[in-house]
């Protein structure tokens, strides 16, 4: 037990280079519910399930977070059908894909699609229903399944 007792997560934030472009990406492409901008703060709030996500305009754009070679990322849980649909849509929209990975052991097993948002932030769509022994189609094949 820690010294404090945190009750939950209010929100988490993702820094972005272009707020408008990111609002389209997170709202229109990923389908997160837009709750609107927070006045003139340079932040927009989205909702997914019980979670709130702020996308926050950076003062100075940065190169891809991927260039930092850090494992930090944000993960979203999806159904098998949505993961396959994402493979198709991401191919059509030229979303930068890092990997489609089949995780057989660990804390978060399942099928994981890693990709970058327009600001280079690493994101993940995770299908937790995939289990070891199930088919492992490639990213291109998964996009043809939907």
**What pLDDT shows up at residue 5?**
82
Q: Which is nearest to 23 in space by CA: 39, 31, 85? A: 31
**What pLDDT shows up at residue 77?**
96
Say yes or no: domain 65-146 is CATH 3.10.180.10: yes
pTM, whole model, 2 decimals?
0.90
Say yes or no: domain 1-62 is CATH 2.120.10.30: no
Cα-Cα-Cα-Cα dihedral of 75, 34, 12, 79, to 10°? Answer: -20
**What pLDDT shows up at residue 146?**
60
| Domain extent listing, the chain | 1-62, 65-146
DSSP 131: -
What is the full per-residue pLDDT of the chain (146 aa) written as tens digits?
Answer: 788 888 888 999 999 999 999 999 999 999 999 999 999 999 999 999 999 999 999 998 887 665 556 778 999 999 999 999 999 999 999 999 999 999 999 999 999 999 999 998 999 999 999 999 999 999 999 988 76
**What pLDDT shows up at residue 143?**
87
**What pLDDT shows up at residue 9?**
87
Which parts of the chain are beta strand (E)? 12-16, 33-37, 43-48, 51-57, 74-77, 97-103, 110-116, 122-127
């Amino acid at each position: 037990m820690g010294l404090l007792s945190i009750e939950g997560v209010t929100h988490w934030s993702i820094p972005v280079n272009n707020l408008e472009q990111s609002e389209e990406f997170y709202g229109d492409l990923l389908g997160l519910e837009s709750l609107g901008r927070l006045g003139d703060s340079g932040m927009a709030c989205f909702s997914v399930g019980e979670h709130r996500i702020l996308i926050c305009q950076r003062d100075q754009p940065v190169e891809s977070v991927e260039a930092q070679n850090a494992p930090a990322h944000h993960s979203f849980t999806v159904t098998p059908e949505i993961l396959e649909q994402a493979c198709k849509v991401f191919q059509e929209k030229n979303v930068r894909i890092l990997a489609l990975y089949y995780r057989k052991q660990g804390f978060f097993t399942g099928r994981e699609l890693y990709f970058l948002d327009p600001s280079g932030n690493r994101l993940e769509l995770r299908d937790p229903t995939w289990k070891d022994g199930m088919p492992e189609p490639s990213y291109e094949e998964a996009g043809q399944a939907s």
